[in-house]
Structure 1
Amino acid sequence: MTHVATRFEELISDETNDELTPEQIFLTAVDDALDQRQAHRIDKLIRAARFPIPHASIAEINYQDGRGLTPARMKRYAGHHWGQDPTNLLIISPTGGGKTYLACAIGIAACHNGHTVTYARMDDLARRLVIARVDGIGHQKRLNELSQVELLIIDDFLTVGIDPEAANDLFAVLANREHRLPTMIASQSQPSYWVEALPDRVAADSIVNRLANNAREINLGDIDMRRQRDDRARATLGYWE
């Protein structure tokens, strides 16, 4: 209401609005307040997700040949209702392929659509879960948060090893999310490798089954976007090493 009152006063003081009725000015002030409230909510969702690239945008995605991306496909992801579709998303490419940027861009678009999102790098997530085990209540709270967020993004999936306790926590989270909420995985490797890399074969089969059998996949090919970016930077005027 404070913003409505402030904006109403600003609009009344603006001579360009002299031909508008008080009702029209009031409704404009209300619309501005609602827009500001929505913007604040989006900013809050993006901050809470803890994206490593908070400026990533689907509008800035590179669609060069060989990346498996099209504007039409990305438009679908930009407007996707994650809370209503439990289908997972796997983003696969070698290092430098742009997986993190793409995951952040899709996640930020989800925030703009009002969805709750959590981004975590696999090694950091595993470490935090193991540390949280010293506090049973805090540990369970963290598992619940990961189970309930509308879109869970796990980046660098199994780029490094994971200990059995963290694997058990991952299994619990994915089991809770199955048929309810989607998980996005960004990885350098294919699901066939995940089965071999996880410490417990039985748990590995269950984890990979839950992730891969109900999933869409984006394969970004072998293009090294990081090297292309660095080469462009070296070609710019004034670059020095």
Structure 2
Amino acid sequence: MIQAIDTTKLTLMLNELRLPTIKQMWPSFAERADKEGWPAARFLATIAEHEIADRDRRRRERHLAEAKLLPGKTLDTFDFDAVPMISKAQVMAICAGDGWLGNGANLILFGPPGGGKSHLSSAIGLALIENGWRVLFARTSDLVQKLQVARRELALENAINRLDRFDLLILDDLAYVAKDQAETSVLFELISAIYERRSLLITANQPFGDWNKVFPDPAMTLAAVDRLVHHATIFEMNVESYRRRTAIDRKQHGPGRPAKSATPKNTAMSLSDNQPAT
């Protein structure tokens, strides 16, 4: 009877302390400790290690669910051979997150449609989550529309502030934002608010010189580019469309991966003076 009362009290205390794994596992570990004569310190350390490991797993699951990454897009499934101007070693260093996310540095991927920008950006986001960072992936046009709604409801500042919980915000397909004063104004406010506080990963089809198609105001274009390139690493992924190559290869060789990547138009990779990783 005494044991039952003690067990009930212990369960209540573990609930109060929010230790669900210890609450679930302590009876089996206690039984094993009694049989094997564990010192009290070993028993305590063992159940504490399991609690920490399970807490980390639950946190990664939450962060993965909130990130809205593209399904199936990982570094393992990214064809680095098809994009020779991208260094796999540098990408792996970037995926650690150290040295750039904490400083609010940016990563920008340029290239024509179908070159793998969205795949690589989502894969980088996934790797960062696995390393303990928080990430949000969004099509730029979708996020801008949500921020426009917030502005109409006089809640734009709060909406942008809620994005602060993410270490990295991935804005996919920046160029598809409508050249509309309301949309581009909201996008510029987002870039300005995040500048040097949180990191951005941006994918875009056009180089900076064509961003007047996104921002109708030349001064706004210049200001946006200035904020984005400061402390930024830039990858130029000027290759033939992966989707087009896949379709041609399937027609010629049947289902499977493309037989061989086409020669890239431009293999230069431009880096700023403040690189996230080397």
Question: How far off is 1:118 after superposition?
Answer: 2.0
> Rg larger in 1 or in 2?
2
**Alpha carbon RMSD of aligned pairs, Å?**
2.7
Question: What does residue 212 of structure 2 align with?
Answer: 195
Matched letter for residue 186 of structure 1: T
Question: What does residue 209 of structure 1 align with?
Answer: 226
Native 8 Å contact 1:94 1:188 kept in 2: yes
Native 8 Å contact 2:177 2:184 kept in 1: no
Structure 1 segment 6-21 matched on structure 2, within 5 A: 6-11=24-29, 19=36, 21=38
Deviations 1:69-123 (A, max 9, x none): 2331122111013541222110112111111111111112222233222221111
Question: What does residue 173 of structure 1 align with?
Answer: 190
Matched letter for residue 5 of structure 1: K
Matched letter for residue 204 of structure 1: T
Question: How far off is 1:32 after superposition?
Answer: 1.7
For the residues of structure 1 that align with 2:255 and 2:226, how far apart are their CA atoms? 45
For the residues of structure 1 that align with 2:182 and 2:91, how far apart are their CA atoms? 36
Structure 2 CA distance for partners of 1:110 and 1:66, relative to 1, 3 Å:
closer
Question: How far off is 1:19 after superposition?
Answer: 4.7
Question: What does residue 153 of structure 1 align with?
Answer: 170
Matched letter for residue 156 of structure 1: D
Structure 2 CA distance for partners of 1:30 and 1:123, relative to 1, 3 Å:
same
For the residues of structure 2 that align with 1:211 and 1:122, how far apart are their CA atoms? 15
Native 8 Å contact 2:168 2:201 kept in 1: yes
Question: How far off is 1:155 after superposition?
Answer: 0.3
Question: How far off is 1:196 after superposition?
Answer: 4.0
Native 8 Å contact 2:118 2:203 kept in 1: yes
Question: How far off is 1:234 after superposition?
Answer: 4.6
Pick 1 or 2: higher relative contact order, CA cutoff 8 A, min separation 6.
1
Give the gaps of 5 or more residues in structure 2.
1-18, 257-278
Partner SS state of residue 141, structure 1: helix
Question: How far off is 1:14 after superposition?
Answer: 6.9
Matched letter for residue 55 of structure 2: R
What's the TM-score once normalised by structure 1's chain length?
0.83
Question: What does residue 111 of structure 1 align with?
Answer: 129
Question: What does residue 239 of structure 1 align with?
Answer: none
Native 8 Å contact 2:101 2:198 kept in 1: yes
Question: What does residue 100 of structure 1 align with?
Answer: 118
Partner SS state of residue 53, structure 2: helix
Structure 2 CA distance for partners of 1:148 and 1:32, relative to 1, 3 Å:
closer
For the residues of structure 2 that align with 1:212 and 1:89, how far apart are their CA atoms? 8
For the residues of structure 2 that align with 1:84 and 1:129, how far apart are their CA atoms? 25
Matched letter for residue 235 of structure 2: I
Native 8 Å contact 1:119 1:154 kept in 2: yes
Matched letter for residue 45 of structure 1: H
Structure 2 CA distance for partners of 1:59 and 1:19, relative to 1, 3 Å:
farther
Native 8 Å contact 1:67 1:219 kept in 2: no
For residue 235 of structure 1, the aligned residue among 243, 252, 255 is 255
Native 8 Å contact 2:111 2:205 kept in 1: yes
Structure 2 CA distance for partners of 1:206 and 1:20, relative to 1, 3 Å:
farther
Question: How far off is 1:63 after superposition?
Answer: 1.7
Structure 2 CA distance for partners of 1:119 and 1:211, relative to 1, 3 Å:
same
Q: Does 1:36 align with 2:54?
A: yes
For the residues of structure 2 that align with 1:207 and 1:113, how far apart are their CA atoms? 30
Matched letter for residue 74 of structure 1: V
Question: What does residue 92 of structure 2 align with?
Answer: 75
Aligned length: 233
